[in-house]
Amino acid sequence: MPEHEVPEPQRPAAGRSAGQREPRRPTAPDGLLVVDKPADWTSHDVVARVRRLAGTRKVGHAGTLDPMATGVLVLGIGRATRLLTYVVGADKEYRATIRLGVSTTTDDAEGEVLARVDAGAVGRGALDGAIAALTGTISQVPSSVSAIKVNGQRAYARVRAGEQVELAARPVTVGTFVVRGVVPGVAEDLAVLDVDVTVVCSSGTYVRALARDLGARLGVGGHLTALRRTRVGGYGLDVARTLEQLVDGVGAAEVLPLAVAARATFPARELTPEEATALSYGKRLVAVPSGPHGTAELPVAAFAPDGALVALLVDDGPVARPVLVLAPA
């Protein structure tokens, strides 16, 4: 799906004559902004809009959502863009609808139909068994239209250019894959099943691929018809803002400060004044065996006695090594 810019809505400009430029907005504070992404927008579209609303170009996102998907998109503003690499590693929660009986080129509703198979004979027992087989740590082949790079080029770009792309399987963890409802239907005179599910999974898991593989296990094919991300790490829809709610700008009321944002997703380590000073110089600390364990995917957030976020740490044997210092000396 080609990325596109969605036009900025034209709002009345009281007291400003035609041809005058809109006054520059105040620069938003550093922190994370959780946006409830609308359908038919790319993640790039949302970043471009928020750059204007936040009065700064220093805005990035922590993991894309397909244009058809809605829900939680975590953005970093200012210094918080440095956190995004690590927020990407947090687990994610989705609500999705999988249509069994139809497979597509993209494993979602935006692709061309590859095959239709009558799914009327698929029973709940078979459905639950196939879902159980796709739960836990599994080996998953990403969708060929994913953003994974193949020889320096995105897989979806190669597919659009007419190439056949085969991606290698990779281990992912699907912690939760449960059915919320099953709705029988008819498409092109064949029986289909629309299965509403909740999925909680590790970073790098493709829900489109789960839909594809569920249909394959049941012998009828499947694809994703709806996807809503409800949580990334500790950031859920309860703290998300729609673009309509942000139309007047992005200020302190909408942005999660660095320390608050870090506590919401990363395990926390409270520092002594001496440790906080050492970390501010990029020095390593003694690891705390009984304390939080930091990994490359999900490091530990280290906080000074005053509550400020000093650094992110990963365990390296007997020491805790800073991978990101946010309060340098």
**Closest C-alpha to 100, from 209, 213, 191, 221:** 221
- Contact between residue 303 and residue 309 where contact means Cβ atoms under 8 Å apart: yes
Tokens of 280: 């501010």
Is residue 73 within 8 A of residue 61, CB to CB? The reply is yes
In angstroms, the CA 172 to CA 36 distance is: 25
By the 10 Å C-beta count (0-12 exposed, 13-18 middle, 19+ buried), 277 is classed as middle
3 state DSSP class of 215: helix
Contact assessment for residue 119 and residue 255, using Cβ atoms and an 8 Å cutoff? no
The CA-atom distances, in angstroms, between 30 and each of 63, 131, 264, 283, 309 are: 19, 41, 16, 25, 12
Structure-token pair, residue 237: 């829809």
Q: Does residue 213 carry a catalytic annotation?
A: no
Residue with tokens 């579209």: 45
What helix, strand, coil percent values describe the chain, rounded to 5? Answer: 20, 35, 45
Q: Are residues 33 and 73 in contact, defined by beta-carbon separation less than 8 angstroms?
A: no
Catalytic residue (choose from 66, 107, 108, 213): 66
Alpha helices in 204-317 (DSSP H): 207-218, 258-265, 273-280
E strand segments, the chain: 31-37, 59-61, 70-77, 92-100, 102-104, 113-116, 136-140, 149-150, 153-154, 170-187, 190-201, 222-232, 235-236, 268-270, 285-286, 300-303, 309-316, 319-325
Residues with a known catalytic role? 66
